[in-house]
Structures are given as C-alpha cells and as structure tokens.
Amino acid sequence: MADHFAGGMRAVQPHRLERNDPCWCGSVKKYKQCHMREDEKIRAFELEGHIVPDRGMRKTKAQIDGIRESGKINAAVLDHVAQHIRAGMSTLEIDQLVEEKTREFGAVPAPLGYEGFPKSVCTSVNDQVCHGIPSSDVILREGDIVNVDASTIYKGYFSDSSRTFLIGQVSPEKERLVRVAKECMEAGIAQVKPWQFLGDMADAVNAHAKENGYSIVVDIGGHGVGLEFHEEPFVSYVAPKGTEMLMVPGMVFTIEPMVNMGSEEICIDDSNGWTIYTEDGMPSAQWEVTVAVTEDGCEILAW
C-alpha cells in the first residue's frame, strides 16, 4: 500500500485532493489529518520560485523503515571490511568480503551489474576519486588511502554509504585530507533540516573544504536513494546557500562529497569507462551517508 508511488523520475502527476480524501501517502488517514498542511507549505515555497520535491521524493514511514533496515546491513558490511582491510590485500579481496557479508544478510550488493558495473563494491585508491573497480592487480600498500563505497538492496530498499580507510602508516597530509573529508560530510549532515535548502547543506560542506585548502568535486554529486539506487534530486556539495531543492520530511538522499587535495578537476579512465581520477594526480577522499529528512532534523539511515 505504502509502496504504490514511485521514486524520482517515475513519480506520477499529483491530482488535487479534497480535505476529507484519503491522503496520497497511503497512510489511510484523511488528507487534512496527514500531508495537507505540509503540501500547502511546499506550494508556498514553490510559488516563491524555489525548487521543491515531488511526492515520489517524500518517502512514507514504511519506506523509511525499509531503507533503515537496508542501511544497517550496509553499515555492517563496511564494519566487516574495516576489520579485515590491511596492506598486501588486493581490492578484489575487499569485493569478496562485501559480496560474502551482504549475501549472509540475505541482501544483494547494488553495484553488481548496475549499468554494467562489473563488481559488488567500488574501491578507490589515492588519486582515484570514485567508482574504482576491484581488481586482483590492485594491491593495497602501506600509506595508501582507499575509499570503500558499498550499497545494499534489501527487500527492495536501497542504501548507500562509504568510508575512506588508512592503510598502515599514512603521511600526515593524506591523513588530514581523510579527516577533513569526514568533517565535510558531518558539516553537511548538521545542515539537514526541513524547510532549509540543499544549498545550505552544500555550502557548509564546501566552506569546510575551502577553509582547509581543499576543493570539492563539482561534476559528480550525491542523489536521492531508497526505492532505486539513484533517484532525483542530484545533490551538489558546492551550491550556494538558499539554492537547490527545499528539504522536506521524508526525503532520503546521500551526503557524499569528494574532497580533493588539489584541484577539483577530474577525468575518467577510458579503458574501463568507470574509474574517476583527479586530473592533477593528487589524492582524493570521500565519506558517504544516507540520510532522511525528519520533522525536526535528520536521521542517518546508512553510515
């Protein structure tokens, strides 16, 4: 019942509801006792010229419960990686850890086969920004930093989170990059509140990176998530305050800034069509959570 409306692009055109009609969200409550006031508030922002979410981007309680269950598995998978990751291991072994652990929970790794992606997780080392493909040829060495980006499908619900791991003793410069990248994500999380804008969150992320002399990747961002792997909206981490989409209770999206030590410029590995590198060859770090906008702030659904 709660699942009848689609996420993102597949959202149906809303029709006008009367006060005593059943709410569109599937709650079986009357519209006036459910989403009516929130809808009116959103409409007022829209009339002021702001970008607002459609109904499909506002998840129901049942859907958020499902995404939370998926997110717990995703976090447990990354905990498992954290326990085993070490110098000398190949990134293919990380893929095997993720694959095994995810299946143990009765879940499916979302990256596998996604638009042709060949593995179950993304592993991005040093100057790889994201979408690194696990390989037996890539051996982790002391001093490397590696982002492990896991995504889980459980009972049809998607979650997405990533962490950057330090392999053995890492240079103070790289260690600082990884720490600041995590702080950027946290600064973004602190700005997730209903009736503010995604640009408010982005500006907090970007400001923290800049203060530390780093740059944020512009061309790749976050996304809505939950009923599909990648839903609308696109989530920028460089947009100015007061811009981008209004945050409304029920929206679920990722906060996953890619923080570069040097320039924001990136390039793609043409040989595999996936792996993104920094153009200047300097290191990049990333942390990612899936969050839900609540009535009074946010809940982290996957970490």
Residues in touch with ligand MF3 (CB under 6 A): 111, 114-115, 117, 122, 131, 149, 151, 160, 254, 256, 288
Q: Which is nearer to ligand MF3, 60 or 74 (CB)?
A: 74
CB 54 → ligand MF3: shortest distance, Å?
21
Residue 189 touches which of ligand MF3, Co ion, none (Cβ within 5-8 Å per kind): none
**Interface mask (CB under 5 A) for Co ion, residues 147-176, using x and -?**
-------------x----------------
Q: Taking CB under 5 A as the criterion, which residues in 233-262 touch Co ion? A: 254
Q: With CB cut-offs between 5 and 8 Å by kind, which of Co ion, ligand MF3, none does residue 122 bind?
A: ligand MF3
* DSSP string of 27-69, one letter each residue: --SBGGGTTHHHHHHHHHHHHTT-B---GGGS--HHHHHHHHH
Q: How far is the CB of 115 from ligand MF3 (least distance, A)?
A: 6
Q: Does residue 55 contact residue 5 with C-beta atoms inside 8 Å?
A: yes
d(CA 80, CA 64): 24
Q: Which is nearer to ligand MF3, 99 or 288 (CB)?
A: 288
Nearer to ligand MF3, 42 or 78 (CB): 78
- How far is residue 258's CA from residue 226's CA, in Å, rounded to a whole number? 21
Minimum Å gap between C-beta 222 and ligand MF3 is 7
Strands 284-286 and 252-255 come out as unpaired
Hey, what are 175's tokens?
Answer: 């260690």
Q: Tokens 């408010």 identify what position?
A: 200
Q: In angstroms, what is the minimal distance from the CB of 92 to ligand MF3?
A: 15
Nearer to Co ion, 60 or 151 (CB): 151
| Residue 259, strand partner residues | 216, 285
Q: What are the Cα distances from residue 109, in Å, to 40, 97, 148, 151?
A: 39, 11, 13, 6
Which residues of this protein are in contact with Co ion, per CB under 5 A? 160, 254
